[in-house]
Amino acid sequence: MNIQFTSKQLALRDELRAYFAQLMTPALVAECERDMGEGGGPLWRDALRQMGDDGWIGVGWPEAWGGRGMTPLEQFIFVEEIMRVGYPFPFLTTESVGPMLAEHGNDWVKRELVPKILKGELLIAIGYSEPDAGTDLASLKTSAVRDGDDWVINGQKMWTSLAHFCDYTWLAVRTDPGASKKHKGISMFLVPNSDPGWSCTPVHTLGGVRTNATFYDNIRVSNDHLVGELHGGWKLITGQLNRERLSLINFGPISQLFNQVVRWATAAQVPAGGRVIDRPWVQQNLGRCRALIECMKLIVYKQSWAMTEEVLAMADASAAKVYGSEGFIEVYRMLGEIVGQAGLLRPGCPQATAEASKIERLYRTASIITFGGGANEIQRDIISAAGLWMPRASR
């Protein structure tokens, strides 16, 4: 038991910190802020290609797939550093779908698409949810029907985030409507977003972040676009979601925000005399936040360690997701109380300070994390079943 990084891991952190400091030009920082942490702008794309050229994409992929072969712990350090500088790294493509393609894709996928992902030239959106298939994802209706050597795809997806600037959609479709169990009739396809049958309308969210509804109208693709086994998509979906869940909780940015608010409250003088941080309730809030974020850190460290040692327990992965997502919301609220009404000033408002307007936006965007990537109710079901051996209700 020793919860400290090795000197080699600290050296990697310093190397990354120096690299990202030079990558994040003021113009790129401004573009990323404008794009609400989603990326997709021209400078963002240039920086991604640069990282691809410098070998910083696919750091955790095995070297045989063209990656760096880092352990999950080192990958975690990478993620923490890139989040710290505020670059919206396309994790879903590089860390979540990408490795699935490298592992399960056919020759065409491995030859044509995987190298482009590693070069930072290809981005993939995820098409799972539908208007009537959310948490009960296996009831999805979008279909792929065999026609000669091709497949013809029809249907609608919801919450297809980033799709408006991605090159492909990683699409879950029904290929066997007569399967005995509904999750056994699903397959995974890569659909080009450039196809004339592909369209997309924006969905604007509380946090200001854009997501999309996407439509698939008689899109014809070759059999090369099928990933993994026919009707074997469910395994790829759950595998991908497990990978996604692991990159959802990150403690770097929130620890930085915490430090920023402490420094602000230490410097800010109140007109009646004294500093903001001298108020007893402010110290109490800060103490609570400090303890809460510390455990976020410990949970993600342990998770990365457990993945490196290949001993990650399912209940612990779900516990990390529940604790992290609900912890973020709690911390945003308590730090927001400290900055007061200034925490209602929208970014760009002339009176807004950097930390207060960050909290203003985070408070609005945070609600997605308790249901995104697998609703917390489902995670709690997993915890009580896998962690405490409690029987589960039938659904």
Which of the residues 244, 326, 330, 355 is marked catalytic?
Answer: 244
Q: Three-class SS of residue 146?
A: strand
What x/- string results for residues 20 through 59 when contact with other proteins is judged by CB under 8 A?
----------------------------------------
Of 5 and 19, the one with the shorter C-beta distance to other proteins is 5
DSSP string, 232-265: BHHHHHHHHHHHHHHHH---HHHHHHHHHHHHHH
Q: Is 344 in the site for other proteins (CB under 8 A)?
A: no
Q: Three-class SS of residue 88?
A: coil
Binder among 288, 340, 346, 349 for other proteins (CB under 8 A): 288
Of 9 and 156, the one with the shorter C-beta distance to other proteins is 9
Of 52 and 60, the one with the shorter C-beta distance to other proteins is 60
* Residues in 207-266 that interact with other proteins by CB under 8 A: 255-256, 258-259, 262, 266
Q: Are 81 and 16 in contact (CB under 8 A)?
A: yes
- Rounded Cα distance between 28 and 86, Å, is 10
CB of 12 to other proteins, least distance (A): 13
Q: Is 201 in the site for other proteins (CB under 8 A)?
A: no
- Rounded Cα distance between 182 and 395, Å, is 13
Residues 310/314/316/322 CA torsion (nearest 10 deg) = 140
Decide if 244 is catalytic.
yes
Q: Which stretch binds other proteins (CB under 8 A): 16-24, 228-236, 240-248, 303-311?
A: 303-311
Q: Is 290 in the site for other proteins (CB under 8 A)?
A: yes
Of 198 and 258, the one with the shorter C-beta distance to other proteins is 258
CB of 41 to other proteins, least distance (A): 30
Q: State the DSSP code for 124.
A: E
Of 3 and 272, the one with the shorter C-beta distance to other proteins is 3
Q: Three-class SS of residue 196?
A: coil
Residues 6+ apart with CB under 8 A from 69: 60, 61, 62, 63
Residues annotated as part of the active site: 244
